[in-house]
Structure 1
Amino acid sequence: MKEVNIDRIKLARESRGLSQTALAKQMKTASQVLLSKIEKGLSNVTDNVLDELCLILNYPKEFFYKEHDIYPLKHFYFRKNLGISVLKSRELEAEINKYSSNFIDLLDAVDIDTQIPYIDIEEQGLTPESLAIQIRELFNIPKGPIRDIVKTIEKRGVIIHIVDFPKDIKISGVSFITTIGTPFILINKNISNSRKRFTLAHELGHLIMHFKTGIISEDRDIEKEADRFASNFLVPSNEVRNDLFKLTEEKLGYLKQYWLVSMQALLYKAKDLGTISQDQHKRWSIKFSKNGWKTIEPLESTLELTTPKLLERMIKIHLDDLEYSTTELANLFGLSLPEFEQKYLKPFDGFELYLSEKNKIRRLKIKIN
């Protein structure tokens, strides 16, 4: 008989944005006193309580039987401006843990060759900028812009997934390395493509510099380090410096379209390289605020981002080679079918047509047999 993983009860509750008090108010089979004891492992979960938890929290029973470890938010790196309540931060933590456990489910049957280095920049005497250039060389990236940042990172065995985070959780991206050593990056669907590109490079910097280097001194600003890495990874200073003098709106627009990064990122780089003064940068910042460009920049529609393929291939291997149905795969993940489809099928272009054709073939096979 399967045993309920009590940690998954708290995970399920927090992933739905509910406090223990709020959940208990909706339950008929358990008071908050009992619910508290259940979550602490001091009381057993009866069948009636489990059935009601499944109903209220909209999870199948399989969700509560899964044995994956659950990590606190501090174990993840993310480009963010959180400013959210404790309850919302727990909701975010729960969502990231759910994605992590689902990726591990897929990786049980799929091997991924991860080829990114883990480097202690203090030990190696490197700056984030110099490391970024070394990584460009390691990845065989030619001079100039990185045309397909998604493909560049996925080729190194990093899972990328575009996620529809709640709009009140102001997070651009998250990175983590699973317990079996596979790195992943989650990117917020609701940010601009220029910000998605920078966030991918930022999170790659975290993966390389900060995950496997032991204890990192509190004196180091790891978010700033990841920003510096991303800036030089996407736009090497020695290649762009001469173009960052005498900036105009037209010139910024041209550079944005060429380097595929935001105008604001280019202005920060110009300030850091000393090609514009602090006062000039301040005047640009005021102009961007006045025109609403800090939210939506000009020419943003010209920047495209390819759909990640690695996770899509992993799912298709389960559906094709391992002959899972979508319902069976949803059960493997411990999700309802609608939530599974929302999280893992709809983000991929053409997946609904693929499943439709696949179901036609299945029906034909059944008819023939």
Structure 2
Amino acid sequence: MEGKVNTDKVFQGERLKEAREARGYTIRELTEKIELNNHQTLSKYENGKAIPPAEVLYKIMNTLDFPFNYFFEKENYDDMNNIVFFRSKASTTAKLKKMHEIKIEWVIRIFNYLESIVDFPQSDLPQIEEKEPSFFKPRDFEEIEEIALNMRKRWNLSNGPITDLTHLFEKHGIVVSTIDSNDYYVDACSKWVGNRLFILVGNEKASPSKIKFTLAHELGHYLLHHNITKEEFNTKNIYKRMEEEANHFASAFLLPAEVFSTELVTHTMDYYLLLKRRWQVSIQAMIYRSKELNLINDYQASYLWKQISKRGWRTKEPYDDVLLKERPILLKEAIELINTHNVKTKVELRDEAKLSADDIEAIATLPQGYFSQYTGKDNVIFF
């Protein structure tokens, strides 16, 4: 019986480019890795001007660790905002930001796939009306304080500490993913589809208090900067102001003024240490908050910052190792539920998500090797 050619599968050059950038390769570097004669050939593959022969595609798959189907899927992201918000160091390279932009798209991809099988909590973030592009208007910090308090009221929170912010976010439909990275340049990035917020924490090894503040910061971007234009986003002074506003929101959301002010009865470093155990927020964040609320003057703030530096606490503070290590479970539990109830096998989950097993495990916070019985390099490419 004569076999049929599957005409539905068309090689997508943009997928090759995305895979290359996700792994941090330049065109020349990947050309050398897969032993092509020149980088112009690879460029033609990415631009859709040529299709790689099977043996070349096989080398690409193995070098970049992507399944065959990944390169034959055309996705439309037109319904998503095209801005990815970053909380990162000023020295973060465009290459590194691009890697995280792609990975947060994978978070969305995995969520969309799983949502076609199971029901997730509905997002109950405010449905912010899309407006015509307008000039950016800085938010008054008093307004930001009110927005933060209203958000806590919306979620029926007291004005005390939030023990597990990651769990709280997931409960209210925010999708959180953390990746295990040795890179400390990107704390997190975020993106939203409608009122569904997706957050990718760039380094799960960061201290729990830092991750907590980072999550609140990204929520701030959604609530404060939903209608920002790409042009404004790329304007240096506007971007700086947005970061200040998101930081202020995070402070106000995690450390509500009325209760925090009442509890800050003295301004010694030992007392800030005590408050850190209760609020699970860094000492440095509490000092900033104290200054924002005029609970300490410039002289007191300067003294406290000198103490932070003198004790070597700029990068690692006391109690960082004993605070609750928050871990997202939403995607992990969905995959385990689907597999445990025999809705999909592990191999079906892996293949239908169209990402490598390692990437799915990382994004969904699954144990390393969860798909191990299926992760051997295939010797046959199935079309």
Preserved CA contact (<8 Å) 2:177 2:363: no
Closer, same or farther in 2 for the Cα pair 1:143/1:343, shift >3 Å? closer
Corresponding position: 1:195 with 2:197:
no
Give the structure-1-normalised TM-score. 0.84
Tell me which residue corresponds to 1:159. Answer: 175
Deviates more, 1:106-115 or 1:255-264: 106-115
Structure 2 CA distance for aligned equivalents of residues 329 and 116 of structure 1: 29
- Tell me which of 315, 318, 334 is aligned to 1:295: 315
Tell me which residue corresponds to 1:174. Answer: 189
Closer, same or farther in 2 for the Cα pair 1:230/1:11, shift >3 Å? same
Preserved CA contact (<8 Å) 1:29 1:48: no
Tell me which residue corresponds to 1:267. Answer: 287
Question: Deviation at 1:159?
Answer: 1.1
| 1:154-175 residue CA offsets vs partner (Å, 9 max, x unmatched) | 121111122113x235111221
Preserved CA contact (<8 Å) 1:118 1:209: no
Tell me which residue corresponds to 1:285. Answer: 305
| 1:224-246 residue CA offsets vs partner (Å, 9 max, x unmatched) | 11111111111111222244354
Corresponding position: 1:149 with 2:165:
yes
Structure 2 CA distance for aligned equivalents of residues 119 and 278 of structure 1: 38
Structure 1 CA distance for aligned equivalents of residues 247 and 88 of structure 2: 12
Structure 1 CA distance for aligned equivalents of residues 113 and 69 of structure 2: 13
Tell me which residue corresponds to 2:377. Answer: none
Preserved CA contact (<8 Å) 1:18 1:87: no
Question: Deviation at 1:337?
Answer: 3.0
Question: Deviation at 1:114?
Answer: 1.1
Closer, same or farther in 2 for the Cα pair 1:323/1:203, shift >3 Å? same
Matches within 5 A, 1:1-369: 1=6, 2-29=9-36, 31-69=38-76, 75-112=83-120, 113-119=122-128, 127-165=143-181, 167-178=182-193, 182-187=196-201, 188-212=203-227, 220=238, 221-244=241-264, 246-321=266-341, 323-346=343-366
| 1:105-159 residue CA offsets vs partner (Å, 9 max, x unmatched) | 2223234311101458969987221100011111100131112212221121111
Preserved CA contact (<8 Å) 2:125 2:195: no
Closer, same or farther in 2 for the Cα pair 1:213/1:27, shift >3 Å? closer
Structure 2 CA distance for aligned equivalents of residues 109 and 341 of structure 1: 18
Closer, same or farther in 2 for the Cα pair 1:212/1:51, shift >3 Å? same
Question: Deviation at 1:267?
Answer: 0.4
Structure 2 CA distance for aligned equivalents of residues 313 and 114 of structure 1: 17
| Structure with a larger share of its residues in helix | 1
Tell me which residue corresponds to 1:362. Answer: none
| 1:37-60 residue CA offsets vs partner (Å, 9 max, x unmatched) | 221122233323322211221211
Structure 1 CA distance for aligned equivalents of residues 68 and 195 of structure 2: 28
Question: Deviation at 1:15?
Answer: 1.1
Structure 2 CA distance for aligned equivalents of residues 19 and 73 of structure 1: 27
Question: Deviation at 1:342?
Answer: 4.3
In structure 2, runs of 5+ residues without a counterpart are 1-5, 130-135, 373-383
Question: Deviation at 1:32?
Answer: 0.9
Query: % of aligned pairs identical?
Result: 29
Preserved CA contact (<8 Å) 1:172 1:199: yes
Structure 2 CA distance for aligned equivalents of residues 284 and 127 of structure 1: 28
What is the one-letter code of the residue matched to 2:323?
L
Question: Deviation at 1:278?
Answer: 1.9
What is the one-letter code of the residue matched to 1:42?
K
Preserved CA contact (<8 Å) 1:160 1:185: yes
What is the one-letter code of the residue matched to 1:114?
S
Closer, same or farther in 2 for the Cα pair 1:207/1:111, shift >3 Å? farther
Structure 1 CA distance for aligned equivalents of residues 35 and 214 of structure 2: 44
| 1:17-69 residue CA offsets vs partner (Å, 9 max, x unmatched) | 10001111122356311111221122233323322211221211022122234
Cα RMSD (Å): 3.0
Q: How many residues align?
A: 350
Question: Deviation at 1:96?
Answer: 2.5
Closer, same or farther in 2 for the Cα pair 1:157/1:83, shift >3 Å? same
Closer, same or farther in 2 for the Cα pair 1:181/1:130, shift >3 Å? closer
Closer, same or farther in 2 for the Cα pair 1:182/1:65, shift >3 Å? farther
Preserved CA contact (<8 Å) 1:195 1:262: yes
Structure 1 CA distance for aligned equivalents of residues 59 and 214 of structure 2: 40
Closer, same or farther in 2 for the Cα pair 1:345/1:139, shift >3 Å? closer
Preserved CA contact (<8 Å) 1:84 1:169: no
Tell me which residue corresponds to 1:364. Answer: none
Closer, same or farther in 2 for the Cα pair 1:36/1:124, shift >3 Å? closer
Structure 1 CA distance for aligned equivalents of residues 296 and 341 of structure 2: 56
Structure 2 CA distance for aligned equivalents of residues 91 and 31 of structure 1: 24
Q: Secondary structure at the match of 2:321?
A: helix
Question: Deviation at 1:249?
Answer: 1.6
